[in-house]
Structure 1
């Protein structure tokens, strides 16, 4: 985990400091549960306590270099940095009334400026340790842009002095303590803790068993089970890479043993884990921020996101199916599958997930849904020996909840710097104008350049930060056209997320390749082939918003769009893998891609042409498949 997942490269031998992290982590989780039940403090105070405790834990748990994770204890300088990180944030709690009332009128004191500067530096260093350099580099670039905007041509601005910029970043509710950290300190933490409970009580393993039972007996069943299980777990993990490593340690050897090539096994796990970030109801925790940015209620967003997510996973399923047929990999035997009788006895373990989805759909707040689901999961865990937690296990569970949230806390706060700079300087509209000018106003080219920008901006970023960055910097280009707001935000969200499997910086594919002992670049290219739907679907729902249940989204129109899209995905997946009903030559690959693209194009005439091509290709493949069988029998 530590080798391939930055978030897992923490100290393993804390010594006496283990008690400090246990108490601080447990206290943070209890604070989050308490404020969720009794009501959160005002956003700045809630965010400051949340961020202060989180950054302190980062400095205690994550060394300055990954190679130092096995050294005993915590160095004095990291202990000092942990204390400083807590104090700079607690300073906001102590001086809240003055900072939001007097300082705005009479100006910030020199001490305020020192605290703000220290707070920003401590945040960036903590984020580097727990998340990585990419988002830190973007945040530093944003700060430099804020400072020296007057020297930048085309997209420049008047510029700020450091004192003004630092206090704006650290003492306002629109930057570090803006929407991302506000939502992290309320909804996101609870859902991450819910995911921790599922894993620690082995309820998550039940999801794997269900997936294996449902898909394991079919062609390439191990790969299909991996896709289903990783999708279920990935939606609550909040990290494509973490889920690839966590699930992949089980699913990748299983696929290799079944006969799949190592790079394909790695790519399957990476594409499924990445897709988990797109899967409602949690969508890697980005759905909560999307609700705030778009003004669309959260319970509506999770319904809107269903069809694109189904299309994505259908594409990955089809890819694994065609590869399995190509290699002649059949399903598992009945003896190898989990027993139905045993699964039925454990169906109550599904209750937490059913409750959280059901409560969200009927309109309860995410806070209430998460709290109730956490309580149900906790109670259910005591019914069985293999899911029951000891007292020590419960204490460790509270600490693990905090540990899991640290990357999200740091990433959300750092993303706030980027979002705050974009808003304060007016950079968003300037980038949008640049993209539109580059595309010379051509809508398709605007979508293409926005896609490229999102993939570049999303490389190496965790899900929540990824969405914040792409929504603030890339989305305004599409918003200039007559496109539904939710379609624009889903567009940038999808392409930001697929950066995790897009070479050259395909972190999820690299992680999977490490476990599979495969070529990382080959795994990345294969992951793109499997997840090709993710590169097509966003164009589809921007051009055809009924896939997001927008516009004229009646039952007939939506059904036709889904059917043609699925057929199109099948044709394109077959072309990518090189196998349909039988082997596909390069001419047939080109024809299948053309037919598939026509099927997914939002126009009935083009879809009918695509359907005709698909029917002809299917007929030819059936005929050739029968001919090949006759030849085999004769020989």
Structure 2
């Protein structure tokens, strides 16, 4: 990778972090199709922004627009449309195969022709679904308990239509397109015919389910009496979710989900805690899995609200170059310290983690810049990748956003997200402090230097642009001021766009008080005033904001100001590159949001299938009983067992899915042990996150190894060592809940200070470097013992830990068993 550090001081991130947070060599990158997909992604994201905020354009401006949907949308319908949109956009955006350096056209026209023929069954199925929807909406069907009935029983005309005119054609189109897609090849500027069929099939599933779930038939979900059409639609939908997950997240999660599906239909044949009494029919299972107990349950509830909202926020920070400022700021602040790029990786990954909740995404976003620089100042390839992997993984436990897992935790436990974010403060500090100590001690042992002054951006310049932190500050303020997560995220997203327009380079035209600056200042003022009115306005019984005349006028003026500013910035884009977030930047932002959101939505929906299996078979409750039995012998043994399950799940799937499944299998058992729900779920969440750096399957470490050029397994072992304190922290807040802000101010402060000292001693013992000199093996063992004493959290144990550490220091300074000697400086020119 080429960087500008060697020649220009203010070019730190010029080449390093322009890349998308999540790369894929299956994506459409070229031709007009990129614009088309970006426009589709824009509509998909805009639908969520409008629906989540519960206010339509007509409600905001006072102008009635008849074709806009009524808000708020019913919860199940919203989640069904959310998944259908992800399937449609995802199949168009992500190819079934991996592209090579040269574009390859379709390998066979025959395959394309066969795929095109599948348009017939998908249209038949779609027309039948529309017919069902029309019949239900006509009001001619009888009602029961205020709901329209839907009689679909063997021998009825409706049953025959659902089987022969809806279900079978839908399965033919879906599975036929999937099979053809595995063999069909296309160029990057094209869309395969099989992918179009799959996109249409996803829409047909949504049309049918939205219609049927609006009737009394929804009450039959999870029973043998669920309509046969629901089973057909759910089968096709689940198959498409698995296929899209394969494309965006690999085979691991698909294989694990497949094992759970096989278990569902074979559980009655298995012994012990895995057994169920009676087998499940295909109709009952798939009727159950595409409900709020499975695919439409907590994982999709989170992906359709918080996750996609904050992904849009992160995408706009990325597209507007505000995200680059975070990395530049980290370089200016930490680049001069010994082993500077490694410490920059810690700070930058922590900052990026607030807006990007995926370990691999953080590795790509910051590691493409920091890993080569770490190698340059003296770190070997393995250590460079390990440090970045460990730091990037910590981004998922960094408040306020904390990745998707924290939102799922809030959904499952009912604990307000703000409380979860507050509880995560000390654990996040401990995680990043431990990595910092590990990095610093490694740099001290190897005698590394920091980066030169001319290699870094000027700190004064970075401080003059500190206002670019405003979107993050607004997000934090809104969250802790009592606003909902959705409103806080929306306000932060608007702030990211507006703040991006204030960058000095965007004023190249028009002079000091040119048109662009006037428009931007006016837009900023109007946004602040309108936001204040909107967030303080009363709401009606449906939760919709009641508009006023002032809001109507200001919102109209604001829309005009934004459109004018956008047009002006777009003009500058055309005449001069990199001049603001104009239309090209907006499309880029929504395209990034589309890529990032489709990947996480597919993972969450796939995890929902596993959750559906667990809820139907009750295997989670049986695992909880095992935990209770273990706790009777030793509570620590039960915690160790829970830790192993969370890590094992994380080795085979993204951490979001790992936590979602572990929260269903393990967390209930921990709660039954008497552990508070927040502590139990945090325990599981923490280990699901660090599974990304736990060998033998460590996804974040493998991504870092791809950048550093090191052996993936060696990198994963090294990252495990760098993040070793993270495996102790969950036990710390189990034995001392003050670390999760549960206690008096004195208890919380004391727990935080002693825990930081504990991870300092643990890092010193692992690295063999303490208070400026090397430590021999028995002194390292003593430091680790002292760390464990500090971590336990009691007054006596803290005193013993400090006493042991002081003893090690005195021995080291008087006896000097390590034999201090001159250490050559590495990385110097």
State the Cα deviation string for residues 512-560 of structure 1 (Å, max 9, x = none).
112111122222112111111110000011111111122xx11222222
Query: In the alignment, what sits opposite 1:579?
Result: 769
State the Cα deviation string for residues 84-109 of structure 1 (Å, max 9, x = none).
12221232223331265575599443
Mapped to 2, the partners of 1:632 and 1:126 lie a distance apart of 53
1:181/1:539 CA distance change after superposition, 3 Å: same
Query: In the alignment, what sits opposite 2:645?
Result: 453
Secondary structure at the aligned position of 1:454 is classed as helix
1:379 CA displacement: 1.0
Query: In the alignment, what sits opposite 2:138?
Result: none
Query: In the alignment, what sits opposite 2:83?
Result: 51
Mapped to 2, the partners of 1:126 and 1:302 lie a distance apart of 31
Farther-moved stretch of structure 1 (154-163 vs 271-280): 154-163
- Whether the 8 Å CA contact 1:428–1:473 is kept in 2: the answer is yes
Query: In the alignment, what sits opposite 2:795?
Result: 604
Query: In the alignment, what sits opposite 2:284?
Result: 164
- Whether the 8 Å CA contact 1:277–1:463 is kept in 2: the answer is no
Secondary structure at the aligned position of 2:215 is classed as helix
1:149/1:380 CA distance change after superposition, 3 Å: same
- Whether the 8 Å CA contact 1:236–1:285 is kept in 2: the answer is no
Mapped to 2, the partners of 1:236 and 1:107 lie a distance apart of 45
The root-mean-square deviation of aligned C-alpha atoms, in Å, is: 2.5
Asked whether 1:232 is paired with 2:351, we answer yes
Task: Spell out the pairing of 1:107-186 with structure 2 (5 A cutoff).
Answer: 107-155=225-273, 156-157=275-276, 158-170=278-290, 172-186=291-305
Mapped to 2, the partners of 1:514 and 1:622 lie a distance apart of 42
Mapped to 1, the partners of 2:403 and 2:76 lie a distance apart of 24
Match of 2:50 among 7, 15, 34: 34
- Whether the 8 Å CA contact 1:116–1:167 is kept in 2: the answer is yes
Match of 1:91 among 208, 211, 222: 208
Asked whether 1:62 is paired with 2:252, we answer no
Mapped to 2, the partners of 1:606 and 1:467 lie a distance apart of 32
- Whether the 8 Å CA contact 1:248–1:515 is kept in 2: the answer is yes
Farther-moved stretch of structure 1 (65-74 vs 478-487): 65-74
Larger Rg: 2
1:127/1:629 CA distance change after superposition, 3 Å: closer
Gaps of 5+ in 1: none
Farther-moved stretch of structure 1 (454-463 vs 405-414): 454-463
Query: In the alignment, what sits opposite 1:301?
Result: 420
- Whether the 8 Å CA contact 1:203–1:387 is kept in 2: the answer is no
Query: In the alignment, what sits opposite 1:217?
Result: 336
1:15 CA displacement: 4.5
Mapped to 2, the partners of 1:154 and 1:525 lie a distance apart of 35
1:16 CA displacement: 5.2
- Whether the 8 Å CA contact 1:454–1:495 is kept in 2: the answer is yes
Mapped to 2, the partners of 1:359 and 1:626 lie a distance apart of 54
Query: In the alignment, what sits opposite 2:63?
Result: none
Secondary structure at the aligned position of 1:143 is classed as helix
1:4 CA displacement: 13
Farther-moved stretch of structure 1 (314-323 vs 356-365): 356-365
1:222 CA displacement: 1.8
Residues matched between the structures, number: 629
Mapped to 2, the partners of 1:103 and 1:489 lie a distance apart of 32
1:597 CA displacement: 0.9
Secondary structure at the aligned position of 1:8 is classed as coil
Query: In the alignment, what sits opposite 1:561?
Result: 751
Match of 2:492 among 373, 377, 383: 373
Gaps of 5+ in 2: 1-16, 56-70, 105-186, 507-577, 825-829
Query: In the alignment, what sits opposite 1:617?
Result: 808
Task: Spell out the pairing of 1:256-335 with structure 2 (5 A cutoff).
Answer: 256-335=375-454
Farther-moved stretch of structure 1 (368-377 vs 50-59): 50-59
Farther-moved stretch of structure 1 (576-585 vs 50-59): 576-585
Match of 1:484 among 672, 676, 694: 676
1:106/1:529 CA distance change after superposition, 3 Å: closer
- Whether the 8 Å CA contact 1:277–1:497 is kept in 2: the answer is yes
Farther-moved stretch of structure 1 (573-582 vs 347-356): 573-582
1:202 CA displacement: 1.0
Farther-moved stretch of structure 1 (561-570 vs 264-273): 561-570
Secondary structure at the aligned position of 2:697 is classed as coil
Mapped to 2, the partners of 1:6 and 1:203 lie a distance apart of 18
Secondary structure at the aligned position of 2:406 is classed as helix
- Whether the 8 Å CA contact 2:359–2:392 is kept in 1: the answer is yes
- Whether the 8 Å CA contact 1:598–1:610 is kept in 2: the answer is yes
- Whether the 8 Å CA contact 2:773–2:818 is kept in 1: the answer is no
1:485 CA displacement: 0.9
1:325 CA displacement: 0.3
- Whether the 8 Å CA contact 1:55–1:82 is kept in 2: the answer is yes
Asked whether 1:591 is paired with 2:782, we answer yes
Mapped to 1, the partners of 2:674 and 2:650 lie a distance apart of 25
Match of 2:320 among 201, 220, 241: 201
Please give the TM-score of this superposition, normalised by the length of structure 1: 0.94
1:578 CA displacement: 2.2
- Whether the 8 Å CA contact 1:540–1:601 is kept in 2: the answer is yes
- Whether the 8 Å CA contact 1:4–1:514 is kept in 2: the answer is no
1:166 CA displacement: 0.4
State the Cα deviation string for residues 354-405 of structure 1 (Å, max 9, x = none).
0001110121101100110111110111123357112122123222212110
Mapped to 1, the partners of 2:100 and 2:52 lie a distance apart of 36
Mapped to 1, the partners of 2:780 and 2:377 lie a distance apart of 27
Secondary structure at the aligned position of 1:237 is classed as coil
State the Cα deviation string for residues 127-177 of structure 1 (Å, max 9, x = none).
11111222222222222232232212122223311100001111x222101
Query: In the alignment, what sits opposite 2:462?
Result: 343
Mapped to 2, the partners of 1:521 and 1:135 lie a distance apart of 20
1:97/1:564 CA distance change after superposition, 3 Å: same
- Whether the 8 Å CA contact 2:472–2:492 is kept in 1: the answer is yes
Query: In the alignment, what sits opposite 2:6?
Result: none
Secondary structure at the aligned position of 2:614 is classed as helix
- Whether the 8 Å CA contact 2:22–2:596 is kept in 1: the answer is no
1:524/1:442 CA distance change after superposition, 3 Å: same
- Whether the 8 Å CA contact 1:183–1:289 is kept in 2: the answer is yes
State the Cα deviation string for residues 404-462 of structure 1 (Å, max 9, x = none).
10111111111111112212222112112234445663101111111111100111422
- Whether the 8 Å CA contact 1:6–1:130 is kept in 2: the answer is no
